[in-house]
Structure 1
């Protein structure tokens, strides 16, 4: 990214780098922040004036910037078989066990779901100023890198923490999607340790999408049975000097 450049940032959803434009309205955003090396900017007031699913962001400081957003809930109803398969795919055996104990395996499910997303943008050369890359944004669920991926050499390992309301989440499924410069995609499935951390290697240049989700009993049982929160972190680089 060039210093001073202003771009339209799309909000996309989906896996395997085949994301589609988010169909929600911008007024569903509850948080949208730009964290810069020495400052921060609340982008929510200007973004929610439009319903385009795009945000206009200017990058006027050199170094690593962090964009962080969160949405409110949307609701859906799932048939029992689909929901049970979904729980298995997300390694949510604890929720499946609760449904079994409640004799609910054959009952449809009302799910409230929300999204959180963070992306790291490198503007010009690294300056060493500030620590925007690992800022804890206070999202309902977020991935926090403990090293700046834009300053790590190729082949180095990156450690991430999974936090829910600021607290570490042990045993969470974390999926790392890596698309190299030739558009080949590799998927790694990891689980956080007791401190909510995972570690993976930045093996080759390309784009990295890290995702996780968490499901809990809904606080409003009149509206939904379960609350799910989806969170992602994206970054990418075109080239690197090998370690």
Structure 2
């Protein structure tokens, strides 16, 4: 099977609970490649841009879409043909490509102490305040969560492409500038939208992992969105991978099923990297 823009799909996904991993992100084997290159996209869970494979079934996949400079390919049906898959992309069209992956909801229960610590760490103080007002700080919590992940891959030297496309994810990051056109050490503006609307005052975490040296720990930028839902991310001067993440939580629309519903969003891209085949 050959698909325009993205020509091979041979892989997919899995999941780990909050207790063992916070973030879920897409990690291409290469962020900047020449046309015709095969790129293996890993699905990772973990923290600080150090993760392990998310190995699960295709039943967790709600949507998988690839946005090429002149085409959009919905890969969901192909991705769900088997229980477990792997994702390899053959990128032939020069320009910036975007891959978006959404999961469906899954449920978990956390003890009061674990849930309160989780809320503090992820900047969800408003939910903590609600629990306090309801005298629930000593109560366990039932939560459903879903994931919305994006990654940007640069193919060839043409910078045209849907790097800033609104994919319609429940929670998504949109880059105002193409990171592959940005100067080393410059600022990149990224907007966070929930159901298409900008979110103000939201904690956004930007992890920057330098590739020189390869074992250098990721550096964290903790940012809060402006009234227009934007944050400014300082790009490094050396080759690096960047992971931008945020989580939103609301009372669950069906209280008989869970107490809370959370949505997690990530965006990954590389900067200052040479082309590879």
TM bucket (normalised to shorter chain) is over 0.9
Partners of 1:53 and 1:208 lie apart in 2 by 25
Q: Is the 8 A contact 2:184 2:272 kept in 1?
A: no
Partners of 1:216 and 1:64 lie apart in 2 by 34
Match of 1:186?
219
**Pairing partner for 2:190 from 140, 150, 160:** 160
Match of 2:175?
145
Q: CA RMSD in A?
A: 1.4
Closer, same or farther: CA 174–75 of 1 in aligned 2, 3 Å: same
Partner SS, residue 153 of structure 1: coil
1:232 equivalent to 2:262? Answer no
Instruction: Point out 4+ residue stretches in structure 1 off by more than 2 angstroms.
Output: 5-8, 50-54, 237-240
Structure 1 stretches lacking a partner, 5+ long: none
**Pairing partner for 1:46 from 62, 78, 92:** 78
Q: Is the 8 A contact 1:34 1:40 kept in 2?
A: yes
1:213 equivalent to 2:247? Answer yes
Partners of 1:124 and 1:232 lie apart in 2 by 24
1:55 equivalent to 2:90? Answer no
Partners of 1:14 and 1:116 lie apart in 2 by 15
Closer, same or farther: CA 239–12 of 1 in aligned 2, 3 Å: closer
Report the TM-score when normalising by structure 2: 0.82
Structure 2 stretches lacking a partner, 5+ long: 1-32
Partner SS, residue 168 of structure 2: coil
Match of 1:107?
139
1:195 equivalent to 2:228? Answer yes
1:16 equivalent to 2:21? Answer no
Partner SS, residue 245 of structure 2: strand
What is the deviation of 1:93?
1.1
Q: Is the 8 A contact 1:34 1:41 kept in 2?
A: yes
What is the deviation of 1:23?
3.6
Q: Is the 8 A contact 2:207 2:242 kept in 1?
A: yes
